Amino acid sequence: MRKNLHPTYEDATISCACGKNWETKSTKKETSVGICSACHPFFTGQHKFVDTAGRIDKFKRRYEK
């Protein structure tokens, strides 16, 4: 096998825009993300469905039977 072909796999720090940081393994030492599970509305329970033109109700009525 050829030597020095693959990148090194080492400890990495992931940082979110909300300020949360955590350690993992990666080929990059540092990575920043815009949103994580600590601040995403779906995971925090602040997620709201926006029903445009009654599409959700129309779907529920159609498949209710």
Give a yes or no: residue 2 inside a domain: no
Bridge pairing between strands 30-33 and 10-16: parallel
Residue 65: predicted pLDDT: 66
pLDDT mean over 35-57: 75
Which domain, by its residues, includes 50?
A: 10-62
Residue 25: predicted pLDDT: 95
Query: Is a pLDDT exceeding 70 seen at residue 51?
Result: no
Residue 38: predicted pLDDT: 84
Give a yes or no: residue 57 inside a domain: yes
The structure's pTM equals 0.57
Alpha-carbon distance of 3 to 6, in angstroms, equals 8
Give a yes or no: residue 44 inside a domain: yes
pLDDT mean over 2-13: 91
For residue 65, the one-letter residue type is K
